[in-house]
Amino acid sequence: MRLACDTGGTFTDLVVERGDEIRQFKSSTVPADPVQGVLDVLGLAAAAHGLDRAAFLAEATTFIHGTTRAINAILTGNTARTAFLTTKGHPDVLVIREGGRIEPFNFTVPYPEPYVPRRLTFEVPERIDAAGRVVEPLDEATVLAIIERLKALEVEAVGVCLLWSVVDGAHERRVGELLAEHLPGVSVTLSHVLNPTLREYRRASATVIDASLKPLMFAYLNGLTDRLRQAGFNGRTLMVTSGGGIMDAEDVARAPIHSINSGPAMAPVAGRFYAQRDQQNAMAIVADTGGTSYDLSLVRDGRIPWTRETWLGQRFRGHMTGFPSVDVKSIGAGGGSIAWVDSGGLLRVGPKSAGSTPGPVAYGKGGTEPTVTDCSLILGHIDADFFLGGAMALDRAAAVAALETNVAAKLGLSAEEAAAAVLALATEKMVGAIDEITVNQGIDPSSAVLIGGGGAAGLNAVAVGRRLGCAGVLIPEAGAVLSAAGALMSELASDYARMQFTTSQNFAYEAVDEVLAALEKRCEAFANGPGEGSLETLIEFSVEARYPHQIWEIEVPLAGRRVDGPEALAALKSAFHDTHKAIFEISDPHSEVEFVTWRAKVRCRLREAATGRVPPPDSQSDLPVSRRVYFAGSGWVEARVARFEAMPADEPVPGPAIVESSFTTVVVDPGTVAVRTTGGGLRVTF
């Protein structure tokens, strides 16, 4: 038995896989103690299987976890007190960044603050040049003096990024040794170990972000594994990474920067599988709608979208992680997004969210501001008596009262009209976000299927799909827990990199061969260590390359594991030209090429199939076959109600209708048709 758990802002999702069957569970997240939320949802799963929690966990071999703990700590400023050590003369790396600006002539926007303030930035006298020669020896006496200042400042973590340590990391290693000796217990991250890339800002930013997360994530993951063990789990604990793979929790604790986007990164993995299974590998817009955010990605040709520029916050105004990751765009729109009227009398939805505490008004946990979920309840889209399969009763009267007070009365609308307006505005915000990743990049959304994931996906996924003119909408059977389901499909993976500059004109065959051999050795060590016993191991090599005088590199895959002669070099040059052409629509086949950073990625496949199937419900005789539902333009209508898991394949359900499971509700608008696919998902066409 395998378990996958995703801790979000509102609910903690769990998928239990036993043989060919998967079951889904949700429990409210506990912000003050997220591990308790994990234990709570495990308790629900155990009870559903007729076991106590200890006996249930004893059967599990693997626990895969995704969490927003790291990103939330960064966004709220709850990371460790971190110092930054850099080469003398370069204290402004985190301040100057890479020089980009969103609005170059808008001088009303204050200059963004560095991740580590200048008062905690210290200059180390030393210098190694780009060729690896020592220009100025490391001044250890000054380093020791800096350490004494760090003690006085009660620093909890230190990031060390010295100039050209990617060529020779001797000085950085020595600083690390001195810190370990004189500041025991303080977390330290060395840039050449964590992220050996050429870009100084990206390397420095990654280093301090990672260092600042170490105390928090070590305590969190240590607490998680200890409490799972105490609860009866004796299997392997894995963590979802920003790159769309999984790693052992101990490895993530040593480099917690990999966990920053661990939750959202899994939705595209699941979306790719469902697009292949139910839509014959059609282009897919994957939308994961949670309580707080609306996370988007675009899967084309079966490829997970990647980005080398992962920003925390706004581009240029936030902080760059310095690592490639699954490309996911997020906006503040979800089931918990709060509806409000601004001072100008305009309706707004989000970005503020009710979260899990206090949650939507209908939850009865102290919430007073109406949310998208409250509006869906008012309109009859959600059954107040069947929320979470009946585990949580909702208070519709309280939702109506809150909406009338905060929105409807201010706009001069009835409660139903106001609720419909809230959903329409939320739909437009989601459409605008999808336009950013499709229309604005020259992609026609009419050629894509919209895959709706997250518990709130079905509330307006059909409306979003119709508004965009998509080829259809697909709600997977595990869509309510899409990220957790993606975790079950993911592979054990790790990336390694090493800088070795050379050109195609004077290619350093021996040096490159040495680098690739070292990377391959690290990949094999991973495969024989954490990946031992996997069904299949795949090692892929690539290089970051550019034309002479270009500033930025692009990543080009290697056909083999070595560049062992002129023929292999010619093939690599040709691959670079082709890749450049595909990205920028231009290439220069007669130009030489510069190769900068060499990379290797190892992936270990742990299982054969992607996921099991959701079993049909034990009973649905007590569920109504229809109910009154409000649609804008139609008013109140009698809509058919179908149970998702019990629907036979290929039997159409025309709208207006409601298709609901214990964890999600799909609103089938008038003029659309829903049908259960043979794979198990729900496809809606217009």
Domain 492-605 of CATH type 1.10.287: no
Residues of the chain with pLDDT under 70: 9, 608-612, 617-623
Residue with tokens 């020089």, as numbered in its chain? 99
Q: Do residues 28 and 34 make contact, with C-beta atoms less than 8 angstroms apart?
A: no
Contact 402/374 with Cβ under 8 angstroms? Answer: yes
Nearest to 169 by CA among 135, 128, 137: 128
Helix (H) or strand (E) holding 325: strand 325-326
| Dihedral in degrees, nearest 10, Cα atoms 267, 268, 271, 277 | -130
* Site of tokens 């603050």: 113
In whole angstroms, how far apart are CA 541 and each of 310, 359, 516, 559?
A: 22, 46, 8, 8
Report in angstroms the alpha-carbon separations of 475 from 338, 470, 625: 24, 14, 21
Give, rounded to a whole angstrom, the gap between the first and last alpha carbons of the chain.
39
CB atoms within 10 A of CB 118: 13
Q: Which residue's structure tokens are 């036993």?
A: 18
Over residues 634-654, the pLDDT tens digits come to 899 999 999 988 899 889 999
Q: How far apart are CA 320 and CA 323, in angstroms?
A: 8
Q: H or E element: which one contains 193?
A: helix 191-194
Structure confidence at residue 278 (pLDDT): 87
CA max distance for the chain = 81
pLDDT of 539 reads 96
Tokens for 549?
């005088």
* Structure tokens given for 596: 């900068």
Alpha carbon dihedral 186, 309, 86, 116, in 10-degree steps, equals -60
- Confidence at residue 685, expressed as pLDDT on a 0 to 100 scale: 94
DSSP states along 301-322: TTB--EES--EESSTTTSEE--
pTM above 0.85, yes or no: yes
pLDDT of residue 83: 98
In whole angstroms, give the CA distance from residue 542 to residue 309. 18
Q: Which tokens belong to 404?
A: 């009338």
Question: Distance between CA atoms of 43 and 49, rounded to whole angstroms?
Answer: 10
pLDDT digits (tens, 9 = 90+) for 213-271: 999 999 999 999 999 999 999 999 999 998 888 999 999 999 999 998 887 888 898 89
Alpha carbons 183 and 191: distance in angstroms, whole number: 18
Spans of all domains in the chain: 2-74+217-259, 80-216, 337-425, 492-605
Is the CB of residue 337 less than 8 Å from the CB of residue 353? yes
- Cβ 629 vs Cβ 380: under 8 Å: yes
Cα–Cα distance measured from residue 97 to residue 206, given in angstroms and rounded to the nearest whole number: 12
Q: Which amino acid is at 63?
A: F
Note the residue count of the chain.
686
Question: Cβ of 551: how many Cβ atoms within 10 Å?
Answer: 6
Nearest Cα to Cα of residue 80 among 270, 274, 203, 219: 219
- Report the relative pairing of strands 536-546 and 554-557 from DSSP bridges: antiparallel
The per-residue DSSP string of 59-88 comes to H-SEEEEEESHHHHHHHHT-S--EEEEEET
236-240 vs 62-67, strand pairing mode: parallel
**Strand, coil or helix: what is 15?**
strand
Q: Hey, which residues does 284 pair with through a beta bridge? A: 299, 449
CATH 1.10.10, domain 80-216, yes or no: no
CATH class of 2-74+217-259: alpha beta
Using alpha carbons, select from 425, 177, 453 the residue that is nearest to residue 299. 453
Q: Are strands 157-161 and 82-87 parallel, antiparallel or unpaired?
A: parallel
Coil, strand or helix: which one is 27?
strand
Rounded (10°) CA dihedral 384, 389, 393, 396: -20
